[in-house]
Structure 1
Amino acid sequence: MRPLTVVQVLPALNSGGVERGTVEFARELAKAGHRSIVISNGGRLVKAITESGSEHIAMPVHKKSLLSLFQVRPMRRLLEELKPDVVHVRSRIPAWICWLAWRKMPTATRPHLVSTFHGMYSVNAYSGIMAKAEHCIAISHCVQDYMVKNYQVPEEKMTLIPRGVDPEAFVPGCADKAWRKKLYAEFPQLEGKTLILMPGRLSRWKGQEAFLEMMSHLVKLLPEAHGVVVGDAEPDKQHYLQELLAKRAELGLNEAVSFVGHRNDIPQFYDIAAVTCHMSNKAEPFGRTVPESLAAGTPVVAYDRGGASESLKNGFPHGLVPADDVVSFAARIADLLVADNQINLPKEYFLDSQVASTLGVYRRLLGQGV
């Protein structure tokens, strides 16, 4: 089968699961000999895109504004120039721009249009654009159910493909002595402690406040436990970090919880952690940190709801606790620290499976089979 030209479009390339997934998928496409192109407004991950053999084209496709419609004609001209086989949209504003550009292109020569529902968006006409693609990918069963219930996406137009973990990145033992020495020099309070990891962008719905409340219970059971919050707030939401620091002080956890900010070495943090926590206060579409931690050999405790519970049920069901019950959450962590934990993450949660399944969607649209 001939190599494909694939264009992925998303708002920006700063941080987050969608962004990291786009980078990884672009890298795998390039490694397989396909032409991989990413269109976004840019960000810190552009370097990773270009260094892995993909192309990045900067375009203001990120603003939730009617002014973004001025990008429709430039997008159409760009697609006509690039002549891709597939355009894969991963967010709503880029989807609107691409769809409006795509629908006016000649049917016989225009690329195929694919969307991935990375979230359970608010139900309205604005979000409905994600269902207008020729084929739609759901990242979890709960997202798939949302697509059917709210947008009546037919079965033949939809494929369930969980987001895949890169097995070469998330492996046990990756935190070597040199890395640990550097970390403990920067954060000496972590050395010799039982580390309880809370990874994820600082956001109210991600559950950092619940994590602090849970830690206030856990340190009573395990005085050696130390919480590590990995992640930063968006530039315009730094006030939330200050709120969390104030709450940490209020709960008397200044010596028991550390905020280490945005990191590029999250696999090493999984490796040194005793347990990873997932505490989103609403159903998360997927919950990337769950399979990442399991792939690294570190058990996860998570609320039993949303996409995060799906991967945990399949890979480590003992980690599930009732939603929003921080006392049970702390007790479960204490139990896991003395248990013989058996982790078995199914193959569909790994990157090679995701890549193969997504390419299968592309090939079927192109009439090339699988």
Structure 2
Amino acid sequence: MSQPLRVVQLLPALESGGVERSTLEIAEALVEAGHHSVVASAGGRLVEPLLATGSTHVDLDLGRKSPWTLRHIVSLRRLFEQLEPDIVHARSRLPAWVCWWALAGMRGRRPHFVTTVHGLNSPGHYSSIMTRGERVICVSETVRDYVLQHYPEVSARKLQTIPRGVDPDHFSHGYVPDAEWRDRFAQDFPQLAGGRLLTLPGRGTRLKGHAEAITLLARLHAAGIDARLLLLGAGDEERGHYLDELWDEARRQGVADVMAISPPRSDVREVLAHSALVLQLSTKPEAFGRTVLEALSLGRPVLGFDHGGVGEQLREWFPQGAVPLGDATRLAVRAIELLRFPPRLAPIKGPTKAAMQASTLALYREVAGHALVGAGHG
């Protein structure tokens, strides 16, 4: 093997979400390949699994939108001078800016600067930092098209689409949770027992379509279908006011007794496999839509709005699950069809976690093979 690389990944925190999962997956691949993996963030519940795979974590609150965050420019520069990384990989806008300014003050050998565009952020100067990497990873063709549309000055040659992927061994087709898990799930959520389970995975933010899911649940009950709804991962304690809004809406529509909201959980595979229908109803286009692929890989049908990365995945792998954005009537009609006549899904051959890891490490090696002195910032 060639000389091991030193790679530092930067992101706001390690709590939950697609950015965080991608960070851990790349950290794991780096260590397994004999490279040195460091992650800098404000920490969170995913630090422990990160450390368990052999990476190092550095506590730096790079994502707080405050003037105080700028003090980390010096801290990050010192970290780079100490570690002498080959690659710094920024996965979010504010950490990317802090990194950019830290690199600007370095003399002599500087690490290469790589970015990943994980989201369809509002175009403008602040978001443009994610296009300034020597190489810019796009997590889907939707993202690549978005970057080229809004940043025409960016060379298409430095953009590389590396789709997020699933582990087909973990999300195996036809997987069924064991009886012990099912009993525990029933104890945790007794209000979900007895009906057809709908699951909408996603953080507790208005853009994820939780209100649309509640309306769908009410329409299904009006049609005589005993459906239950789990808003998986939306129960963030910091979003108490938003959760109160959701419960008020559920009570208004008469479905509060057949709905549950959970915090982020580690048994996403089991929950998706246990669901009759998985929902992806984001009102803002998603960059990728990993849970679409995870559910389909398990053989579970997915119903979602046909835009962004979710629409891209559904059109490719399960077109009958794509409905026009915001069309509540079509959404209900399609949900009724999928619940009354459950489709038999064949195994899909979508993008895999292993392919994403291999492509990213290959990109690191390619970038690090260039001249290092003065590189990475221009």
Where on the TM-score scale, by shorter chain, does this alignment land: which range?
Answer: over 0.9
| 1:55 corresponds to 2:56 | yes
Mapped partners of 2:365, 2:8: distance in 1: 15
Deviation sequence 1:94-123 (CA, Å, 0-9, x none): 10111111233345x322110001112122
| 1:11 corresponds to 2:2 | no
Match of 1:229 in 2: 231
Contact 2:201 2:234 in 1 (8 A): no
Mapped partners of 2:325, 2:150: distance in 1: 24
Contact 2:88 2:113 in 1 (8 A): yes
Post-superposition offset of 1:326: 1.8
Deviation sequence 1:141-181 (CA, Å, 0-9, x none): 22112211222221111001111123343234251111111
What TM-score do you get using the length of structure 2 for normalisation? 0.92
Deviation sequence 1:11-65 (CA, Å, 0-9, x none): 0111211112212221222222221111001111111110111111111212112
Letter in 2 for 1:314: E
Map 1:171-250 to 2 at 5 A: 171=172, 172-250=174-252
Mapped partners of 2:270, 2:224: distance in 1: 23
Mapped partners of 1:87, 1:141: distance in 2: 24
Match of 2:24 in 1: 23
Letter in 1 for 2:133: A
Distance 1:346 1:197, change over 3 A: same
Match of 1:34 in 2: 35
Match of 1:323 in 2: 325
Superposed CA RMSD in Å reads 1.7
Contact 1:315 1:343 in 2 (8 A): no
Letter in 1 for 2:252: E
Contact 1:316 1:344 in 2 (8 A): no
Contact 1:299 1:343 in 2 (8 A): no
Q: Tell me the secondary structure at the aligned position of residue 7 of structure 1.
A: strand
Post-superposition offset of 1:309: 0.8
Post-superposition offset of 1:261: 3.0
Q: Tell me the secondary structure at the aligned position of residue 255 of structure 1.
A: helix
Map 1:230-309 to 2 at 5 A: 230-309=232-311
Deviation sequence 1:196-244 (CA, Å, 0-9, x none): 1111111111000000011111123343221111113544321000100
Mapped partners of 2:50, 2:176: distance in 1: 23
Mapped partners of 2:137, 2:46: distance in 1: 23
Match of 1:346 in 2: 349
Contact 2:235 2:262 in 1 (8 A): no
Of 293, 311, 314, the residue aligned with 1:312 is 314
What TM-score do you get using the length of structure 1 for normalisation? 0.94
Letter in 2 for 1:345: I
Contact 2:191 2:259 in 1 (8 A): no
Contact 2:192 2:258 in 1 (8 A): no
Deviation sequence 1:269-312 (CA, Å, 0-9, x none): 01100110000112111122211211222110111101111111
Contact 1:174 1:267 in 2 (8 A): no
Post-superposition offset of 1:362: 1.2
Tell me which moved more, 13-22 or 23-32: 23-32
Post-superposition offset of 1:254: 2.0
Contact 1:314 1:346 in 2 (8 A): no
Letter in 2 for 1:41: A
Mapped partners of 1:345, 1:157: distance in 2: 30
Match of 1:117 in 2: 117
Mapped partners of 2:116, 2:336: distance in 1: 38
Distance 1:316 1:306, change over 3 A: same
Mapped partners of 2:232, 2:364: distance in 1: 35
Distance 1:186 1:237, change over 3 A: closer
Mapped partners of 1:70, 1:38: distance in 2: 18
Contact 2:114 2:134 in 1 (8 A): yes
| 1:98 corresponds to 2:77 | no
Paired positions, count: 366
Contact 1:14 1:42 in 2 (8 A): yes
Letter in 2 for 1:131: T
Contact 2:25 2:357 in 1 (8 A): no
Q: Tell me the secondary structure at the aligned position of residue 239 of structure 2.
A: helix
Contact 1:233 1:240 in 2 (8 A): no
Mapped partners of 1:67, 1:99: distance in 2: 17
Runs of 4+ more than 4 Å apart: none
Mapped partners of 2:270, 2:227: distance in 1: 18
Post-superposition offset of 1:324: 0.8
Match of 2:145 in 1: 145
Mapped partners of 1:167, 1:52: distance in 2: 20
Mapped partners of 2:53, 2:127: distance in 1: 32
Match of 2:375 in 1: none
Give identity over the alignment, percent. 40
Contact 1:203 1:233 in 2 (8 A): no
Contact 1:119 1:284 in 2 (8 A): yes
| 1:163 corresponds to 2:201 | no
Distance 1:174 1:89, change over 3 A: farther
